Structure 1
Amino acid sequence: MTDLSLLDIQSQSMKKILIALFVLASVIRNSAHAVELDGANDPQFKAAIESWLDDDDKTSLPILAKLAKTGNVAARLTLSGIERLHIQSVSPYFKSLTRKEQRSLMRAGGGLSGTSWLNIEAERGHQLAFALLRVQAPNINQILIRKLIDLGERETASRQIPRIINSLKSEQIFDLADDHFVPKERRHRVWQTAAFKGNQKYIDEANRALRNGDPLALMGSPNRTKNADFKKHQNAIYFGAITEEAISEEYKKGLKKWFVTSTELKPVSQLCNVECPKQMESCTAMAYKLINGYHNVTNHDTPLESVISQADFINSAKSINTLLRHILQRKKGITNDGEIYFATYSRLIYLKDIRAASSCLADKLATLQY
């Protein structure tokens, strides 16, 4: 199930939304604050959020759906955020439902696929809904990123930064960096852009980070070459491919430590801290590889920061099981001799290889329902 695009909104509603977005863009401020959503203090809503964080969709989603249909704004926007998270993976309960039942839980009625609660709240004039809906548009700029930060949705804002670089507005990332609006997990995108645009201030910053041992600084280094060994180092950092012969044992050791200690990869290290604490380093290195890249990890965010903080989400059973189910979705098949294997960026990984690296992680993947 995917969110409705802007094209799904009727033309009259679209006009209202675009006008409101223009007004919204004109009132940007630099201080972030979480939006207080109507219905967020409802005891039923709070209980549903706790159940959802415990990975109990069977209890939580019907309550959230009922509240949304009776006008609870917090429930409506949370369901829209959960729907985005479903791109990574869904629970066995949700997967067992028919498409009609899934739509009934996540959306309002209307149309072949139902109507997103985000669209409904945007039409009603809710400022956070307007900003979140604007994220779905093909092109964005720094105004939207600043507004999301101002509304307290820093994780959503962070996810949009690479989209600026991929547009004709790439130099806007320097304005955001100047105002300290580029978080650590996206800082290397500033350095990459600086290398291409010749921004000496951030080229110097990248070089300082490189000298201080930040692995991500290598990705933004202005001295990048077509050297094959350099590419292997990139793959080790971005995709966890640390078995390449060109990578020294000392560098591999440093990367394994970075996988465990970096704030950027906290969703993975927390998974292993909870599930396999006695195999923390080996579990984290293997899980990172199986999740298939830095981008997938850093985009693993709370559905709605106004309701659930990023820390609470990352520390939850929902976060951990979402990532494990995401890995299981990469299970591509079984060989003729009965070996299960998973597809990753660099190569196929067999379950026996996972077990050799972290028996605990292998056991978890073998028994988890998805």
Structure 2
Amino acid sequence: MRQQDMPWRVLRQLIGQYLLVALVVGWAGSGSVASAHGLPGSDDPEFVSAFETWLADDEMQAVPELSQLAQNENTAARVLLGVIDKTSALQGPWVTALSREDRISALRGQGGLSGRNWMTIAGSDSAYAQLWARLWHLDGGLDIAQGFADKGDTRAVRETLLTLASRQQSGFPRDVMAHDWFPAALSYLVADWPASAGDEGESDAGDPQQSMRGQHIEDADLQRWLDQSDLAAPLRQVCDAQCGAGVSDCAFALYKGLGSYPALAMLGSPVSVLISSEGFYQSPRGRASLARRIMLTRSARMREADLARLGEVSACAADWLRGEYGRYAYSLPSVPLTPQ
């Protein structure tokens, strides 16, 4: 079949599958995360196409397709929809504008009074999905974090530790730091870390963990840390795409917009067995999710005043956020929830 005679839907599926495979090869080669082939259904051409469409920020097309795939027992679609359902920052303008009933229909499986999150259903086919379901139901402790580490999902490790620390309202025992999977970026969660940090070597003066232990950080030191830290890489990626030469000031403004160090620690790929953090924030949906996360930290009445303050640091970052916020102020067009 000649390319010009190939139906667009088939061509889009092939292109989408190539792009996803390229992303998988790129980040799997670095050894940072597990292969997408560990998740059943991830290599299904229809899933690859829907996933690529979602990353392109076309929710109106992608979400109904993912929903249909989930109903057809595609585990990868179930995992992705499960995370979207539980993460407001991943819900873009189209999903957000749906009625409660339509949102449940689009994002969840049948069952109960308000549907069932697909992750609980996917657990029968995926150990990775089981870890998420256990975390959301608080069914376990540090073994969940270690399980995510074994799967190569370092962002999920951080989310697990932050969730556990919040639940128990106390730090972890110091011996937890001996585990090779425990992230240095969350050392402040160790109960006696402030008292014993001195024997770990001198800390970076700009590391926000210092502020978590009550120490003052100079803005210049913090900005330097943001320019170099792996944890802040999503901020720099988004700023590079949106602001070009003003990356440093933009990243500093976005960090201020997030409002806290734990919020920064939550950034990364939402499903690292499908896409790397770098690949996610290179996508329109990934960049939009960062703006949405910042948006949700402020009430509607506070957002404009907050944008004015951020604009003093980076006018480009503030203008980008303002444009992203504006995407949520529109009427939902009349569209079917089943793929056409």
- Please classify the TM superposition score into its range, dividing by the shorter chain length: 0.7 to 0.9
In structure 2, runs of 5+ residues without a counterpart are 1-31, 329-340
Whether the 8 Å contact between 2:172 and 2:189 is mirrored in structure 1 is no
**Structure with greater Cα Rg:** 1
- After superposition, what is the alpha-carbon deviation per residue over 1:155-209, rounded to whole angstroms, capped at 9, x for unaligned? 212211234445388545623x21311223223334xx2337x6x5x5411xx13
Q: How does 1:207-226 map to 2 (within 5 A)?
A: 208-210=201-203, 212-213=204-205, 215-216=207-208, 218-219=210-211
CA distance in 1, matches of 2:308, 2:128: 47
Quote the residue 2:320 is aligned against: 364
| Residue in structure 2 matching 1:280, options 247, 251, 267 | 247
**Secondary structure in structure 2 of the residue aligned to 1:88:** helix
Whether the 8 Å contact between 1:259 and 1:265 is mirrored in structure 2 is yes
Deviation, 1:67, is 0.8
- After superposition, what is the alpha-carbon deviation per residue over 1:326-348, rounded to whole angstroms, capped at 9, x for unaligned? 333455456xxxxxx438xxxx6
Quote the residue 1:256 is aligned against: 223
**Secondary structure in structure 2 of the residue aligned to 1:287:** helix
Percent of paired sites with the same residue: 24
CA distance in 2, matches of 1:310, 1:174: 29
Q: How does 1:40-55 map to 2 (within 5 A)?
A: 40-55=42-57
Aligned-residue CA RMSD in angstroms?
Answer: 2.8
Quote the residue 1:105 is aligned against: 106
The 3 A distance-change label for structure 1 pair 130 and 353 is: closer
Matched residue count: 293
Structure 1 counterpart of 2:202, one-letter code: A
Quote the residue 2:156 is aligned against: 156
CA distance in 2, matches of 1:52, 1:282: 29
Structure 2 counterpart of 1:300, one-letter code: L
- After superposition, what is the alpha-carbon deviation per residue over 1:76-95, rounded to whole angstroms, capped at 9, x for unaligned? 1111112223x235211112
The 3 A distance-change label for structure 1 pair 111 and 165 is: closer
- After superposition, what is the alpha-carbon deviation per residue over 1:135-168, rounded to whole angstroms, capped at 9, x for unaligned? 0233632222212222333321221123444538
In structure 1, runs of 5+ residues without a counterpart are 1-30, 225-229, 237-250, 335-340
Deviation, 1:220, is 6.9
- After superposition, what is the alpha-carbon deviation per residue over 1:69-121, rounded to whole angstroms, capped at 9, x for unaligned? 11111111111112223x23521111222222211221111222111111123
Structure 2 counterpart of 1:305, one-letter code: S
The 3 A distance-change label for structure 1 pair 105 and 169 is: same
Deviation, 1:217, is 5.3
CA distance in 2, matches of 1:99, 1:126: 28
Q: How does 1:224-243 map to 2 (within 5 A)?
A: 230=215, 233=216
